[in-house]
């Protein structure tokens, strides 16, 4: 008899710190663990995350409270809450997600990395990716009076590689022609106390290395309340 594949929830379609409907879906699907992704850390969210077999991707880009992420906390406030999260659920279950890095403003992302990783003893994992520059993303930047990135969709590989070199310990998410690790990987399964099976290959686009065991727990089909200019939803 073959071993049962695990079911790992994830919250990519929305924000787990704003929309707690993921909890009911976690139970409905009988998830064995969950990857919670949020820009909106709060004491309430941290306590809820601790109730589950979870890994938290806390997204801090450095643009919170600016015109780029108008309804996200300023990054130094998120940084303080990040520290509380690490203390509460453990560094091994927290990922600093700097996503996306805007190539023309990458120094902002590096400031976050320096503060929350380089200058921190209790280190977490780090994940980075780069701005997907959709036509509607460019239009939003221009409408907000903010200079848009000049490239179409993916930044040039040489530019991405040069910037990534400043984040040498970071996992890379979903970037073509770069060495990537999925948001749901064998490392994550082991962190969640699950021994990976051999037949868990992914089902997504080639640059997405997520294992096929992930299940979306949020049902949003539009921008969340963060109002980020770079959101892939039109």
Query: Any residues with CB less than 8 A from the CB of 208 and at least 6 apart, and which?
Result: 174, 180, 182, 202
pLDDT tens-place string over residues 23-52: 999 999 999 999 999 999 999 999 999 999
Mind giving me the DSSP string for 121-160?
Answer: SS--EEEEEE--B-HHHHHHHHHTT-PPPSSSBSPPHHHH
Q: How many helices (H) and strands (E) does the chain have?
A: 7, 7
Q: Which residues contact 28 (CB under 8 A, 6 or more apart)?
A: none
Residue 72 near residue 64, CB atoms below 8 Å: yes
pLDDT higher than 70, residue 202: no
| Token representation of residue 189 | 């399964």
Q: What are the contacts of 136-145 at 24+ separation with CB within 8 A?
A: 136/234, 137/229, 137/230, 137/231, 137/232, 140/229, 140/230, 141/68, 141/229, 144/67, 144/68, 144/229, 145/67
Q: DSSP state, 68?
A: S
Q: What is the pLDDT of residue 5?
A: 86
Of residues 234 and 229, which shows the higher confidence score? 229
Which residues make Cβ contacts (< 8 Å) with residue 47, sequence separation at least 6? Answer: 88
Residue pair 140/98 in contact (Cβ under 8 Å)? The answer is no
- Is the predicted pLDDT of residue 199 greater than 60, yes or no? no
pLDDT tens profile 57-80? 999 999 999 999 999 999 999 999
Rounded Cα gap, residues 84 and 77, in angstroms: 11
């Amino acid at each position: 008899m073959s071993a049962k594949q695990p079911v790992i929830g994830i919250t990519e379609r929305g924000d787990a710190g704003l929309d707690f409907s993921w909890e009911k879906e976690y139970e409905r699907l009988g998830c064995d663990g969950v990857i919670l992704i949020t820009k909106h850390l709060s004491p309430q969210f941290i306590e809820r995350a601790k109730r589950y077999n979870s890994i938290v991707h806390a997204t801090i880009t450095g643009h919170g409270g600016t015109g780029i992420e108008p309804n996200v906390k300023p990054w130094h406030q998120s940084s303080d809450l990040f520290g509380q999260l690490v203390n509460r659920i453990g560094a091994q279950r927290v990922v600093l997600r700097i996503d996306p890095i805007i190539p023309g403003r990458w120094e902002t992302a590096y400031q976050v990395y320096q503060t929350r990783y380089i200058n921190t003893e209790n280190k977490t994992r780090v994940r980075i990716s780069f701005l997907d520059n959709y036509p509607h993303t460019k239009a939003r930047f221009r409408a907000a009076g903010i200079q848009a990135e000049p490239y179409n969709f993916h930044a040039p590989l040489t530019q991405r590689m040069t910037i990534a070199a400043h984040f040498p310990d970071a996992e890379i998410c979903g970037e073509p022609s770069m060495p990537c690790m999925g948001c749901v990987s064998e490392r994550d399964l082991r962190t969640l106390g699950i021994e990976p099976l051999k037949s868990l290959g992914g089902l997504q686009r080639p640059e997405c290395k997520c294992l096929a065991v992930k299940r979306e727990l949020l049902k949003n089909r539009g921008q969340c309340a963060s109002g980020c200019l770079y959101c892939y939803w039109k």
